[in-house]
Structure 1
Amino acid sequence: MVALTKKPSTAKSSDTDVGMLCELRSRAERVAEGQSLRERVPRSSHATWLQPANRRDPVAILEQSSKGRLPELLPIRYGRMLHSPFTFMRGSAALMAHDLATTPSTGIRVQACGDCHLLNFGLFATPERNLVFDINDFDETLPGPWEWDCKRLAVSFVLAARDIQLSAAEARDCVLECVCAYRQRLREYSRMSPMEVWYARQEVDSITAMAQKGPIRKNREEIAERAHAHVAEHLFPKIVCEESGHYRFIEHRPTLFHVAEAEFEAHVHDRLSDYRQSLPDERRVLLDRYRLEDFAMKVAGIGSVGTRCYVVLLVDKDGHPLLLQFKQACRSVLEPYCGKSQYQRQGQRIVVGQRLMQSASDIFLGWVRGRHQHDFFVRQLRDMKYTAPVEKFSAVQLKRYAQVCGWTLARAHAKSGDAASISGYLGGSDTFDLALAAFAQSYADETERDHAALVEAVRAGRIHAQINE
């Protein structure tokens, strides 16, 4: 459980420990404390988004967030953000964190995702090989206000709805469904024991079973089938070829290419050894059954473009592959407003946050420090990972997806934070739901203006963007 601060503000806190910092109190006491916060932070106050008079230039914030990234890859980042206001939002977590810091907050902290948009949820395999739905991106995770994850998720549904030409009413319904699911499920979790919450998970079979027979259930079953196919053995022949008895990644510049430095291979060997130390002993035994075969740089996503990301191919004696991703771990975009992490290594910050928020995590999840003090976290490149094809969703499908995302976020927050206090604050009415629906519409409008500012910056030559990769 993370800190429950006493004053309702988003002021920077130096206390970002994810340990048990607040005293043990009964559920009734914590619910009452949450209810009392309504006097100082009315639930309806979350409805308002007004651009501060001294708000920084959004393009300047993007430029600031690009510092330390590989400059030759930045045009790809900006090019992907130009595609739509929704893709702009996906690449501008730092900008939204800057804005969220000016919004009302109860002061209740959880382990926050920090970049909680609808495409950072998806399917993946547990260590037991069961398929679950959960949050799958933790680059920005840090203890912070629970409201920030809710607001970013709500805004992402409005922008995604606009992107697929849904009406304003349909977009609003998606937000209401998401926030209502969060509120109701959080109340359920607040009544459970800590152990029950810890073991709770959204297994894909139960999600599929909830849908009535028809198109929705069939769609969920098809998505699950595709996720089962997304394993290393399935990906292997698509991105790897055999040359002179060795396997090598097939280059697809500018998104997948080999590093030219001659000494880099020795560096990778050293980092693999260091990464191994972050794994439990039994996982080290498993890793030791594989040897390094090849490595390359990979450009993926939107917000991460420009950071250092490597894919590493290992094989066992019979040629069975293990694909790992070494992804640079930078400081969280929440840090200027929530305080520094207790972990000196940013990779460890991400791994601990991920394990705390997820119902189950990758068995190869670990961290390492590379050259020039660059931190990395490590995970499998693909292990039944699958992201919903939101761009093909109908209004009904997006609404149902919003519900599942709301449930999932509630479990993640209940696992790390004080579900009873948050539930007491939210109550049984739809007051907070309606407030976030209004906020999401207003901030989506703001995002469209910020996207237009980036378009103008590219047109004026201030920003260089690569549109066609």
Structure 2
Amino acid sequence: MKIPRPSARMPHLIQLRNLKMARSAHAYVRGSTVQFYEWLHSQPGRRLPHGPAIWICGDCHAGNLGPTGDTKGRIDMHIRDLDQTVIGNPAHDLVRLALSLATAARGSDLPGVTTARMLEEMMVGYEQAFKDKPDEVPPRPSQVKAGMRSAVERTWKNLARERIENARPSIPLGKHFWSLSRAEKSALESVCASDEIHQLVTSLKGRPKDAKVQLLDSAYWVKGCSSLGLLRYAALLGVGDKDDQEYCLIDIKEAVGAAAPRAARAKMPRDNGRRVVEGARQLSPGLGERMLATRFLDHGFFIRELLPQDMKLELDELSEIDAMHAAGYLARVVGIAHARQMDRDTRKDWMEVLQENRSKQLDAPSWLWTSVVQLVGSHEQGYLNHCRRYALEH
């Protein structure tokens, strides 16, 4: 493909984002965050119960959860994308996850009754996380088992095959990586020579604190869906002497203001990069300790080293059993992230709120079911209109 000049990236990125969102209703839900936030600000969205003001993901769809590694080499399922993290209402994360799971179920052609059962399992999994000593871990669905197994087995060479051609110490320009302007190259050289980056990449288990860190290559990174159009860079670093050099890939992503509703009078870092890092440390500490915030080119950024174990969870072609297991398991991951921020009394009060408004027909809050029904309908309409516009333009 012909790589666009740095000054001409935006039209290509917008076209790519529109293409990705046209591929499936589930992809549209993942990419149309603004539509979800507009609903939260609407009358139905404002009727949701008000949970305790804690750090939430803010964009808690299933694709933003997945296996992640920490600095000590351990792997577990966590919230892995925190661009929209704010101190807000935990009910918003529950509704966003429920919408994502319901859309995945529809994409797998599962009946509506399965969606209802998924919401029940989701609440069981979420509430399980709030018990002092969880006595029953929800079974990992096959997609999660496969993802965890792949994550455990992945090495830097796996990451290199996907991102860096032939494991050479350079980043190949093409579909995923585009060329940089002179100003971008110079700025990235300065950032990667900083003490903060040195400390970040040498904090990983087994790396000497005094290891030499060298920038080998860098590029503009074409990645994501709703975030396409923001500045994002990949930097390939060499750690250690040439004879025994390790490589690491650094993800440098622009941090912009969160569209997710925040709690009134919530005290958060004003700098968006610092907000993302602080939210990560609260919700996914193993990931948060591998991140830092910085500013260059008059923009705020957050930076993390990509580990081979960091993977996106794909929920495609779900069976009915796997759909219910996935709902319970992923909700428990979110519940753990929420619960660790609450004391015992706050947990108890929040659990009591979640037990309200349940019917004999559905063992989940009625507001959750009503919200999902409304959102699935509006997103289906939005998706079809998006596809129509895309077809007319192409």
Structure 2 partner of 1:308: 231
TM-score w.r.t. the length of structure 1 is 0.71
Structure 2 partner of 1:3: none
Structure 2 partner of 1:421: 349
2:174 is paired with a residue whose SS is coil
C-alpha deviations, 1:395-415, integer Å up to 9, x for none?
211211111111111111112
Change (3 A) 1:218 1:100: closer
Distance in 2 separating the partners of 1:277 and 1:381: 13
Change (3 A) 1:341 1:89: farther
Structure 1 partner of 2:316: 391
Residue 257, structure 1, aligned to residue 257, structure 2 = no
C-alpha deviations, 1:358-415, integer Å up to 9, x for none?
15225431111120x2111111223312233311331211211111111111111112
> Could you tell me how far 1:275 is from its partner in structure 2?
7.3
Determine if contact 2:164/2:172 at 8 Å carries over to the other structure: yes
> Could you tell me how far 1:149 is from its partner in structure 2?
0.7
Distance in 1 separating the partners of 2:329 and 2:256: 29
Structure 2 partner of 1:400: 325
Structure 1 partner of 2:276: 350
Change (3 A) 1:425 1:270: same
Structure 1 partner of 2:390: 458
> Could you tell me how far 1:424 is from its partner in structure 2?
2.3
2:85 aligned to which of 141, 157, 162: 141
Change (3 A) 1:329 1:169: same
1:330 aligned to which of 248, 256, 261: 256
> Could you tell me how far 1:341 is from its partner in structure 2?
6.5
Change (3 A) 1:288 1:77: farther
Change (3 A) 1:81 1:241: closer
Distance in 1 separating the partners of 2:13 and 2:349: 44
Structure 2 partner of 1:365: 291
- The residue identity in structure 2 corresponding to 1:289 is K
C-alpha deviations, 1:93-142, integer Å up to 9, x for none?
12211211232133332211110011111111222222211111100000
Q: How do 1:215-254 residues align onto structure 2 when only pairs under 5 Å count?
A: 221-241=145-165, 247-253=169-175
1:438 aligned to which of 370, 385, 394: 370
1:143 is paired with a residue whose SS is strand
Change (3 A) 1:160 1:274: same
- The residue identity in structure 1 corresponding to 2:49 is T
Determine if contact 1:278/1:368 at 8 Å carries over to the other structure: no
Q: Which moved more, 1:163-172 or 1:389-398?
A: 389-398
The percent of aligned pairs where both chains have the same amino acid is 19
1:139 is paired with a residue whose SS is coil
C-alpha deviations, 1:143-199, integer Å up to 9, x for none?
11111111111111110101111111112211221123213433x15xx7xxxxxxx
2:192 aligned to which of 269, 272, 285: 272
Distance in 2 separating the partners of 1:281 and 1:263: 24
Structure 2 partner of 1:38: none
Distance in 1 separating the partners of 2:332 and 2:219: 37
Determine if contact 1:123/1:387 at 8 Å carries over to the other structure: yes
- The residue identity in structure 2 corresponding to 1:120 is N
How many aligned residue pairs are there?
A: 368
Q: Which moved more, 1:439-448 or 1:386-395?
A: 386-395
Distance in 2 separating the partners of 1:232 and 1:166: 37
Determine if contact 1:327/1:376 at 8 Å carries over to the other structure: yes
Structure 2 partner of 1:176: 120
Unaligned runs of 5+ in 1: 1-68, 193-199, 201-205
- The residue identity in structure 1 corresponding to 2:14 is L
Change (3 A) 1:286 1:383: farther
TM-score w.r.t. the length of structure 2 is 0.83
Structure 2 partner of 1:105: 48
1:296 is paired with a residue whose SS is strand
Change (3 A) 1:221 1:150: closer
Determine if contact 2:67/2:311 at 8 Å carries over to the other structure: yes
Aligned-residue Cα RMSD (Å) equals: 3.1
> Could you tell me how far 1:320 is from its partner in structure 2?
1.6
